[in-house]
Structure 1
Amino acid sequence: MTAFAELHHRTEEALLLPNAWDHASATALAAQGFRAIGTTSLAVAAAVGLPDGSPATREHTLQLALTLGTEPFLLSVDAADGFSDDPERVAELARELSVVGAAGINLEDGLGSAALHARKIAAVKSAAPDLFVNARTDTYWLGDGDFADTLVRLDAYQQAGADGVFVPGLTDPARIAALVRHLDAPLNILYSSTGPTVPHLTDLGVRRVSLGSLLYRRALGAALDTVRDIRAGRSPRGAAPSYAEVEAWGNRRGISEASARA
């Protein structure tokens, strides 16, 4: 079992996976003690003016993984639907991510064909056996929360070789507990301010809690709040890292330098 997989099998504490969007955000999070960090496809796409999940973001996703893959934290890459309907093309992406140092990949079904998504998972596991595949279903995120369909899809993804499964949008504790009892693979839930806390999710049996695009969206929100305050003649609210801290996070020595300044 890989080090990243082991983090999904702890019973005392769910893996809280923050999602970064560039080198500075990733190393800043690592400096806070996070052993594993994910990327967020929304931020990767938004940064280059593309819609989330667009096939055109494939190379940008790879470039970010290349930037982060050699850093001293475990990296999981949000690859949307694999940026292709061709399982072999998705497998090639997984192989490239593994080569540059990624420990995991997140693949979403977008409520499309479960059979096709299962074939993608199987192809990825064949091409990059050590890459942790987190198979996401969007039955609650894009659909109406069909629990029976959720079970059918997750069963197919487990059988195809998924190492973990992800159900964003699910916040009901009873349904979460029922899924945990049904599954063999670790369950990943997307954190929601209106849902269970991380300790509660751990008690329910959830093994991974992702933040998705939340940190990126809050960073944009903080930037807008700041400029509104300045325009209105107010002092900006909230804390801001120093120039030197951001400079440290932005280079390849960022973690050690940031830690030394703390």
Structure 2
Amino acid sequence: MSITLKQLVKILEDELQPGLFKDYCPNGLQVEGTDQVNRLVTGVTACQALIDRAVELKADAVLVHHGYFWKGEDSAIVGMKKRRIETLLRHNISLISYHLPLDGHQELGNNAQLARLLGWQTEGGMEQGKARSVGSWGTTAAPVSLATLGGQIEARLGRKPLLISGGDHEIKTLAWCTGAAQRMIDMALDLKVDAYVSGEISESTVHFARENGIHYISAGHHATERYGVRALGQWLEEKQGIEHLFVDIDSPV
């Protein structure tokens, strides 16, 4: 079964509501390819390896979390960017990308899917007053030590997290935001949770956690963001009947 590219983008726009977010990149259709979509490839980042695999799989469109045209980057289409876009255009493959809207979706988003994978109960959003927050907070299934929670994360994500202790307290409540959201630890502290989980870590985050008595877990940018775009692709397959293939191009970061 196939749908038009226009229909696919409309379905995604209606579901993800990009207008609710102030983002660092354009959300939606970034590179236009064929106007009929039968086979959709999803992945975390629109790197050359993912695009090449989409070509091998004869995909009509690629849907990612990390696309192109980020604020602050050189807008010239040269070098790596030229090669990526050239490959898409040569094979008539569309590129569709959703960044913060995919983080913030309450069922299909990165944070919602991470919580489901790890058995955390979501209680609300980290950004108070927003209809869709890019971070979440909630509770663990049972109180656990920092080391135990780290072990659970490693077992589910297949990556050993970096654990920064904020004391000897157990973890009953926690906040989380996938990707490079380590600076949201101050919001987690305001929520009075026991721990905060994100993908990356900055040097200053170590001292913040230690001095403010909140555990911090850096679980990997890529490792925490595999699940939203895959769930979105599966949802599209179930809803529209198009073929979906998730391709994981691993990254150690």
TM-score by length of 1: 0.25
Structure with bigger helix share is 1
Structure with bigger strand share is 2
